[in-house]
Structure 1
Amino acid sequence: MILSKTGIRHKEDLVPPANGVDVGIIKIGDGRVMSVTTDPFYFDPVFGYEDSAWFAYHILASDLLTSGANPDYMTVDLNLPLSMTDEEISRMWNAFTEEAARFGTSIITGHTARYAGTSFPMIGGITAMGFIGEDEYVTSAMARPGDKVVLTKTPAIEAAALLTRLFPGTIKAKLGDELFSYGVDLFRKLTTVHESLVCKRFGLRTRVTAMHDVTEGGLLGALFEIADSSGNGIRIHEDSIKVDDYVKRVCSIFSIDPLMAISEGALLITVKPDHAEDLVSSLKANGIDANVIGEMTADPSERIIVGREKRTIGPPQKDPFWTAVEFGISEDWK
């Protein structure tokens, strides 16, 4: 309904909208392209003003850097609730722009106003843009048969981090103070900026062939998208998927499958097979957990997880995170 109607195509449109592809790519001349991505300005005060603004920036920067382009520019549209005070707006904006300055982002234009009928967490939109060589960018559609599949961090990292912030009393009571503190700290790991920069230094196209961040639909959804957008099959080895122990415990509390839950902060990378272990070593040397979890195959009908039982990798379903939130609220968990 939406994807089939996107205006007209220009000859400069190298990567138009496509399922499972995080960015659009526009040719701008002299061997350069502009990578572009758009998402809501996601901001929820329950996560803390500074942390939530940090997250809003990194959602966009993470998407853009899956192409290899740095987040050079952003446009920001703020449609703020009437209840938001000047002090609250200032706290949010200071934290957002501090992070932008840290990564060299210029906020080049935008719009700001308070409106009736708007509410957290979707309070506007952000478009991020960056520039890179025409022969340097990557997209999830560039994965090739034989490439190894690398996963950073852990499935369901975002689900666990957000549920910890949303239901702190419950998590603390069930898991104890020490584990609760670990869960609170997970929030600042909900970015793939750092691993994308490692991949960029490691070598895009020459070694790394594709990157895709794991968001709505979790790991299974992201695996399907990278296979579907590239027209390939994918074979994943269940025993190679390392789910963080804390994440596993939180998912158990809410009865959700960690492989299907929202996972901003985890990055899928495809890499030429001879370079896979070196990439994992480079990521770990930069403090980023990573494992080879499988490989791309030439048969598009083969999209499976091999383990105790064979599991088909299909299109993303409703993310269980939202069901978990509804359950926690219905149980009056604090």
Structure 2
Amino acid sequence: MIGKVNDEFFQKAILPETGAMTPEVVVGPSMGVDAAILKIGDQFMAIAEDPIFPGPTTSPEDFGWITVHIGASDVAVMGIKPQFMTYSLLIPPDTNEEYIARLVRSISETARNLGISIVGGHTGFYGAVNVPTIGGITVWGMGREYITPAGARVGDAVLITKGAAIEAAALLGSELGDSLRSAGITEELVGQASQRIKEMTVVEDALLAAACGGVHAMHDATEGGLARGLWEVAEASGVGLRIERSQVMVPPDVKAICSHFQLNPYEVISEGTLVLTVDPDKVGDVLKSYEMAGIPAAVIGKVVPQGEGRRWLEVDGSEQDLLPPPVDHFWEVFFGALSQG
């Protein structure tokens, strides 16, 4: 198995093992929660942790950008601006210093552009490491209020940004471009997909929405894609969903690449797709804010009572259960294709 541990093992073996209980922990570890919330004085701290590794052809500049944005996104979805970070860089013994310097410079420049201060970390060579790896990036920030994935309310509109399978298309387009072109996918579509590397962030998406008010829940659709992201918000909030599949944006390049690899675009990794539930009276403000920022967004459904279930509404009028995929098939496709050259 590649990727996150399965839900059953997480709930049985990991979730109960969280050390000492302290009153400062307002929001602790939970299924689908992107960051912890601690009460520090009269403010709330959002803090998150992520590992990051590059693809075989990822430049140190893109690796640095992705590192910061993935870590910062998990704080931003809590409605709090990322302010500080540390990271551990683990590198193979034969890594040249120029690569390391470029990567560290990119991390610093990306953090600076987001207003994040790097306040510590670790860098070292390790024989057990095969590729330069961020063993962990920790990002945190302080605010007077916070949002969690558990805040969705019956009657809320459900919105997403950018569309489905953003990360899957970006990584497959970047790493397997020659294979895709050989299969007849146009240079334009492959180029569009590879450029989505810089869409693998929800920092701006989340902070813009939070500033509008009326946002009750936010979540980044990472492993398991949009389907899992939606389900996790509903599960954490104890609500049902009615999601119109036809309203979910699946850009042409994403559709072409997912079709080629026989991937369901609704169920594969999609870092960069923000799922949010919003008071109906504030939907217009959120959409206008996104339009002004050039961020594609759409209303795809609504929050309903839990007893009404979680359903995909299809164009032909039929309904399907909205369930979290047990496995994100992106990983087996990605690493399988890489191993075949």
**TM-score (normalizing by structure 1):** 0.94
Q: Which residue of 1 aligns with 2:302?
A: 295
2:323 corresponds to 1:314: yes
Task: Supply the AA of the counterpart residue of 2:280.
Answer: P
Q: Which residue of 2 aligns with 1:258?
A: 265
Contact 1:210 1:270 in 2 (8 A): yes
> Aligned equivalents of 2:254 and 2:31: distance in 1?
28
Counterparts of 1:1-334 in structure 2, within 5 Å, are 1-29=13-41, 31-120=42-131, 122-133=133-144, 136-173=145-182, 174-203=184-213, 207-300=214-307, 302-307=309-314, 308=316, 309-329=318-338, 332=340
> Aligned equivalents of 1:121 and 1:156: distance in 2?
25
Task: Supply the AA of the counterpart residue of 1:186.
Answer: R
Segments of 5+ residues of structure 2 without an aligned counterpart are 1-12
Shift of 1:121: 6.1
Contact 1:61 1:193 in 2 (8 A): yes
> Aligned equivalents of 2:334 and 2:170: distance in 1?
12
**CA deviation vs aligned residue, 1:109-144 (integer Å, no higher than 9, x gap):** 1111110111236441111110000xx210101111
Segments of 5+ residues of structure 1 without an aligned counterpart are none
Contact 2:27 2:37 in 1 (8 A): yes
> Aligned equivalents of 1:289 and 1:321: distance in 2?
24
Task: Supply the AA of the counterpart residue of 1:117.
Answer: A
2:270 is paired with a residue of what secondary structure? coil
> Aligned equivalents of 1:9 and 1:79: distance in 2?
31
RMSD: 1.5
Contact 1:151 1:290 in 2 (8 A): yes
Greater Cα shift, 151-160 or 43-52: 43-52
> Aligned equivalents of 2:253 and 2:55: distance in 1?
23
> Aligned equivalents of 1:278 and 1:129: distance in 2?
27
> Aligned equivalents of 2:244 and 2:203: distance in 1?
26
Task: Supply the AA of the counterpart residue of 1:310.
Answer: E
Aligned residues: 326
Q: Which residue of 1 aligns with 2:7?
A: none
Contact 1:233 1:298 in 2 (8 A): yes
Task: Supply the AA of the counterpart residue of 1:125.
Answer: G
Shift of 1:176: 2.3
1:198 is paired with a residue of what secondary structure? helix
> Aligned equivalents of 2:307 and 2:277: distance in 1?
16
> Aligned equivalents of 1:7 and 1:327: distance in 2?
38
Contact 1:43 1:56 in 2 (8 A): no
Task: Supply the AA of the counterpart residue of 1:109.
Answer: G
Contact 1:39 1:126 in 2 (8 A): yes
Distance 1:155 1:91, change over 3 A: same
Distance 1:225 1:106, change over 3 A: same
| Identical amino acids, percent of aligned pairs | 38
> Aligned equivalents of 2:44 and 2:101: distance in 1?
34
2:306 is paired with a residue of what secondary structure? coil
Contact 2:89 2:133 in 1 (8 A): no
Contact 1:251 1:257 in 2 (8 A): yes
Task: Supply the AA of the counterpart residue of 1:18.
Answer: S
Shift of 1:329: 3.7
> Aligned equivalents of 2:78 and 2:125: distance in 1?
34
Shift of 1:68: 1.5
Shift of 1:221: 0.5
Task: Supply the AA of the counterpart residue of 1:278.
Answer: D
> Aligned equivalents of 1:3 and 1:301: distance in 2?
28
Shift of 1:300: 4.9
Contact 1:20 1:229 in 2 (8 A): yes
Shift of 1:226: 0.3
Q: Which residue of 1 aligns with 2:5?
A: none
